[in-house]
Amino acid sequence: MRYSIQSRGDDLSNDLAARAKQYLNDFGLVYDEKEPDIVLTIGGDGTLLHAFHRYRDRLADTAFVGVHTGHLGFYADWQPPEIEKLVISIAKHDYDVIEYPLLEVAIQYRNDMNDAVYLAMNESTVKSPDVTLVMDVELNGMPFERFRGDGLCVSTPSGSTAYNKSLGGAIIHPALPAMQLTEMASINNRVFRTVGSPLVLPAHHTCVLKPVKGPDFMVTVDHLHLLHKDVKTISYRVADERVRFARFRPFPFWKRVHDSFIDSDVR
Ligand code: NAP
């Protein structure tokens, strides 16, 4: 089996990464940064997001597992003292693979440039670089609302505990192939009106944003920030691809939510 390790780069994470590499090599596994079967991340959820984007082109052949060297992560849910146990389980191939839904982001431009297509594991946000964002929101080809405000966020179920949660979105179990649209400070008065509630859309539904004021937008895809010029539309749908995680023991999603946001003492 081939593996690779991605570290956050701090001393603790680098030290754990070196130990894990030594153990895995001793077990006869092959370190292969190009075509790993399993990617071990050491750091936090941010580190796992970076690894996901690095291996975006081989999601069907790669499983991720994360060790957290900060606070409990959603994706990175192993602790440093467990590294030997984890390495033995990896070497014995003693794990199941679970899959989480992803978000497809397609940006169409007004000039002849090819569409840019991205995959998000957490979310994509759209903001205007200097003025209020004004976007027509279309759901399944039907005009839904004209949004005015700071921005819009479309998240995956596993990303619903990240930026989406700060925006008052619901936490969605990753067994549901869905995406969630949340507002950032919409302007609502007698003249301007948006629905105001987060919307949860199932697979095969589309959400298309059409600029009214623009045409340049700051679009994020997880930790990646890019200014897109001359934007015609930004389309969102639940992606066909899924991200695969190696699961060595049960750690239910709601327990992770509890331990992260309510109280971790009872773990
Ligand atoms: P960052 O600002 O360094 O980290 C953002 C925080 O979000 C970190 O504590 C990270 O955990 C945590 N996080 C990431 N994915 C999560 C998930 N699925 N559930 C719960 N918490 C999660 O940024 P970054 O490391 O580059 O990560 C980019 C992410 O930051 C974006 O995808 C977005 O979700 C989040 N973000 C949140 C806000 C907000 O809540 N207002 C604003 C901007 C961006 P670790 O410490 O374990 O890495």
Q: Domain with 72 in it: what CATH number? A: 3.40.50.10330
Tell me, rounded to whole angstroms, the distance of Cα 219 from its chain centroid: 14
Q: Which ranges in the chain belong to alpha helices (H)?
A: 11-26, 45-54, 83-91, 163-166, 253-261
Catalytic residue among 10, 26, 32, 45: 45
Ligand 1: centre distance to CA 77 (Å): 15
d(CA 204, CA 139): 11
d(CA 178, CA 186): 23
Close Cβ partners of 61 (under 8 Å, ≥ 6 residues apart): 35, 37
User: Is 26 annotated in some ligand binding site?
Assistant: no
Residue 257 inside a domain? The answer is: yes
Is the beta carbon of 158 within 6 A of some atom in ligand 1?
Answer: yes
Domain that holds residue 229: 102-240
Residue listed under structure tokens 């105001």: 196
Residues 156 and 172 placed together within one structural domain of the fold: yes
Residues 132 and 64 placed together within one structural domain of the fold: no
Residues 205 and 120 placed together within one structural domain of the fold: yes
Q: Cα–Cα–Cα angle for 64, 69, 73, nearest 5°?
A: 55
Is the beta carbon of 222 within 6 A of some atom in ligand 1?
Answer: yes
Residues 128 and 200 placed together within one structural domain of the fold: yes
Q: Which pLDDT tens digits describe the chain residue by residue (267 residues)?
A: 999 999 999 999 999 999 999 999 999 999 999 999 999 999 999 999 999 999 999 999 999 999 999 877 899 989 999 999 999 999 998 899 999 999 999 999 998 789 999 999 999 999 999 889 999 999 999 999 999 999 999 999 999 999 999 999 999 999 999 999 999 999 999 989 999 999 999 999 999 999 998 899 999 999 999 999 999 999 999 999 999 999 999 889 999 999 999 987 654
Residue 215 inside a domain? The answer is: yes
Ligand 1 atom at minimal distance to the Cα of residue 155: 34
Q: Please confirm, yes or no, whether 259 is among the known catalytic residues.
A: no
Give, for ligand 1, the residue of 41, 72, 122 to mutate: max count of ligand atoms closer than 8 Å to Cβ: 122
Evaluate whether 148 touches 186 at the Cβ level (below 8 Å): yes
| Total domain count, the chain | 2
Residues 7 and 55 placed together within one structural domain of the fold: yes
Residue 265 is predicted with a pLDDT of 64
Residue with the smallest CA separation from ligand 1 atom 32 is: 222
Residue with the smallest CA separation from ligand 1 atom 22 is: 162
Residues 58 and 132 placed together within one structural domain of the fold: no
Residue 146 inside a domain? The answer is: yes
User: Is 233 annotated in some ligand binding site?
Assistant: no
Residue 125 is predicted with a pLDDT of 98
Residues 229 and 257 placed together within one structural domain of the fold: no
CA distances from 92 to 27, 65, 102 (A): 9, 15, 29
Residue 185 inside a domain? The answer is: yes
d(CA 50, CA 60): 17
Residue 232 inside a domain? The answer is: yes
Residues 113 and 236 placed together within one structural domain of the fold: yes
Residue 266 inside a domain? The answer is: no
Q: Roughly how many angstroms between the first and final C-alpha of the chain, as a whole number?
A: 32
Residue 112 inside a domain? The answer is: yes
Residues 24 and 151 placed together within one structural domain of the fold: no
Is the beta carbon of 49 within 6 A of some atom in ligand 1?
Answer: yes
Residues 109 and 229 placed together within one structural domain of the fold: yes
Residue 228 is part of a domain; what is its CATH number?
2.60.200.30
Is the beta carbon of 13 within 6 A of some atom in ligand 1?
Answer: no
Residue 267 inside a domain? The answer is: no
Residues 151 and 191 placed together within one structural domain of the fold: yes
Is the beta carbon of 77 within 6 A of some atom in ligand 1?
Answer: no
Residues 116 and 206 placed together within one structural domain of the fold: yes
Is the beta carbon of 166 within 6 A of some atom in ligand 1?
Answer: yes
User: Is 161 annotated in some ligand binding site?
Assistant: yes
Ligand 1: centre distance to CA 46 (Å): 6
